[in-house]
Structure 1
Amino acid sequence: MHAITIPEPGGPEALVWAEVPDPVPGEGEVLVDVAAAGVNRADVLQRQGVYPPPPGAAPYPGLECSGRISALGPGVTGWAVGDEVCALLAGGGYAEKVVVPSGQLLPIPEGVDLVTAAALPEVTATVWSNVFMISHLRPGETLLAHGGSSGIGTMAIQLAKAVGARVAVTAGGPEKLAACRELGADVLIDYREQDFVEEVRRATDGVGADVILDIVGAKYLARNVETLATNGRLAIIGLQGGAKAELNLASLLAKSAAVTATGLRGRSPAQKAAIIAAVQEHVWPLIAGGRVRPVVYRTIPMRDAPEAHRLLESSEHVGKILLTT
């Protein structure tokens, strides 16, 4: 098969379309012929040499894909050759074929085509696990989603609105904020010109955000805690603004607030399977009912993955970028 390899870490040009050995499914795994793969920030970090795949994962980038099952490993039940699926991966999505633990497979949601489905596994699993399973966002509460126009942000807006929450977002510029508004965001904050702490306070009559979904990390830590409501929950899922920051714990204690930081890629197959099962139970019916939809900015041939990474790093996009085989 062919896959995107990384002979040496570097810029987008480090991504090389090359012939590699076909993967073989092991116990509890299936082989998927890839139709499309989602492009994520973690793929950029892997390309740069700072985020290697976990032990046992395929060496190629790609944390989600869609396609058709072409072979079943020993012990797999509930799936058949020819089934159309999308999948959460620890790596290997930028390839013509990938091996997936069967617990990380999802059927294609009703109303979504095979290619577009590649935009769903990573964002739905990330948002559902952090905003709902860990932070327990409830109807009537306020969610602040940083990077509202990103793949994660566009899904967070829709899922929060679907359960009856109010949504504030930060994004850069009027076009991205307009896209967030179309998806249901209630409070639109241009982080280039506005202070999100003050804007959230104003919008909530001084109460603050009950849950914050943060992709920035260190740069926003103190201000995020300042923005939290009493009993608020801050979920950190990215470090685009750095990994180290100082925090006055008294401010956290005063609000009886909580800070969590989670990654998805390094979790065990059992943990991922539990998240995927929750996504299928809670999110897939919302997609089938038309209340939540994948947001795809552009599809690009997989052999042109360097172009996709340049586009992702430019931050021009709204929603997901996909690679097609």
Structure 2
Amino acid sequence: MKAVLFDQPGGAEVLYYGDAPDPIPAADELLVRVHATALNRADLLQRQGGYNPPPGASPILGLELAGEVVTANGEFAVGDRVMAVVTGGAYAEYATVPVGMALRIPDNLTYEQAAAVPEAFLTAHLNLFTLGRLKAGETALIHAGASGVGTAAIQLARAAGARVITTAGSPEKIARCVELGAYAAINYRTEAFAERIKQLTEGRGVDVILDFVGAPYWNDNLASLAVGGRLMLIGFLGGAAGQLNLGAILPKSLTISGTTLRRTPLDQKIALTRDFAAFGLPRLASGELIPVIDRVFPLKEAAEAHRYMASNANVGKIILSVP
């Protein structure tokens, strides 16, 4: 099969379009003909040598896919359209998917649209609801609201009856976040978000924060949380090291949680997939939830897609179309 490969860590130039062995599905897996996949920050880190796949995972990049079932298994027949999170291998013509991780693609979504769903929406669902315990009537602060996970999180929180505040780095991104359902959007380049949170919540703070930035936001995040608030750390784009003040954690009874979907045990990921299927698939089918796509690149242009993601210009997901 054709796939995007690299032989040594490096910049986007190390990626090339070449031949790889066809994957062989295990007894509890589907073989899927991939029609589209999507970029994630983890792909850039893995390409650079900083985020190796877990044992047993494909070394080929790609953490989500949309495609067509090639080998029947369980409830899925040959030809069924499915989308899924995978531990690797999606930058290719074929990939294997654990049966429990496969989601049926709603009829109203194309393969490119479906490829924008799994990683973003499952990550957001995991951190907002499973770990963050966000409920109707509460307030969530979602950093990087124009990112793939951010655009999914805004919509999921809104659909659950929560109020959403978000941060983003340009007027265009701010406008898109509001369009998707954010109650308020803060331009982090021109405003101190902790001060705005105080104003917007009348000093109470927010109940849940999704943070991709890490150490630079630590103190302002803690200051922005209400009593009993939950901070979900899902990335360290701004760095993981710094001088951190722990003083707010005990008096506010805060919960700090960190997770990566890729390394979550399979049984927990299957349970998450089922939870999202019940909540999210009907809303995707009705159009209440929408996958947000910035650009679509051919698989052969994966290197250019990586450069584009590194520029931080995208609003929503960057898709690779697989011929």
TM-score normalized with structure 2 length = 0.98
How far 1:139 sits from its partner (Å)? 1.1
Q: In the alignment, which residue of structure 2 is the partner of 1:189? A: 186
Query: Which residue in the other structure is 1:78 paired with?
Result: 75
Q: Distance in 2 between matches of 1:281 and 1:152?
A: 19
Q: Which residue pairs with 1:107 in the alignment?
A: 104
1:224 equivalent to 2:221? Answer yes
Partner of 2:84: 87
1:256-299 Cα offsets, whole Å, 9 max, x none, are: 11100001001222111111111101111111222110001111
**Equivalent residue for 1:141, pick from 118, 134, 138:** 138
User: For the residues of structure 2 that align with 1:122 and 1:304, how far apart are their CA atoms?
Assistant: 21
1:304 aligns with 2:301: yes
* 1:42 correspondence with 2:42: yes
Deviation at 1:249, TM superposition (A): 2.7
CA contact (8 A) 2:215 2:244 kept: no
1:120 lines up with 2:113 in the alignment? no
- Specify which of 73, 95, 98 is matched with residue 95 of structure 2: 98
> What letter corresponds to residue 105 of structure 2 in structure 1?
I
Superposed displacement of residue 221, structure 1: 1.4
Equivalent residue, structure 1, for 2:196 = 199
- Residue in 2 aligned with 1:53? 53
1:34–1:66: 8 Å Cα contact kept in structure 2? yes
CA distance in 2, matches of 1:305, 1:114: 17
Q: What residue identity is the alignment partner of 1:177?
A: I
Q: Distance in 1 between matches of 2:279 and 2:110?
A: 20
Report the secondary structure of 2:42's partner residue: helix
- Aligned counterpart, 1:236: 233
Structure 2 CA distance for aligned equivalents of residues 308 and 223 of structure 1:
33
The total of aligned residue pairs comes to 322
- Structure 1: distance between partners of 2:46 and 2:175: 32
One-letter amino acid of the counterpart of residue 145, structure 2: G
Q: CA deviation at 1:245?
A: 3.4
1:80-128 C-alpha deviation (Å, 9 max, x unpaired): 1111100110001100000111111000024212221000000111011
Contact 1:221 1:245 survives alignment (8 Å):
no
- Counterpart of 1:280 (choices 277, 280, 284) is 277
- Matched ranges for 1:13-24 at <5 A: 13-24=13-24
Name the CA distance, whole Å, in 1 between partners of 2:272 and 2:262. Answer: 12
Deviations 1:12-70 (A, max 9, x none): 11111110111111120111000000100000000000001111111111000000011
Q: What are the superposed Cα offsets for residues 185-229 of structure 1, whole Å, 9 maximum, x if unpaired? A: 111100111001001111010111110000011121121111101
CA contact (8 A) 1:110 1:287 kept: no
Instruction: Measure, in 2, the Cα distance between the counterparts of 1:246 and 1:318.
Output: 31
Inter-partner Cα distance in structure 1 for 2:288 and 2:202: 29
Unaligned runs of 5+ in 2: none
Measured after TM superposition, the shift of residue 77 of structure 1 is: 1.0
Aligned to 2:256: 259
Counterpart for residue 168 of structure 2: 171
Give the 3-state SS of the residue equivalent to 2:277 in structure 1. helix
CA distance in 1, matches of 2:55, 2:231: 29
Note the residue ranges of structure 1 that are not aligned, 5 or more in a row.
none
Question: Which amino acid is 1:164 matched to?
Answer: G
Confirm or deny: 8 A CA contact 1:58 1:92 kept in the other structure: yes
Over the matched positions of the two proteins, sequence identity in percent amounts to 47
Q: Secondary structure at the match of 1:71?
A: coil
Aligned to 1:245: 242
Secondary structure (helix, strand or coil) at the match of 2:276 reads helix
1:155 aligns with 2:152: yes
Distance 1:188 1:275 in 2: 28
Root-mean-square deviation over aligned CA pairs: 1.0
Q: Could you say what secondary structure the match of 1:283 adopts?
A: helix
Aligned counterpart, 2:291: 294
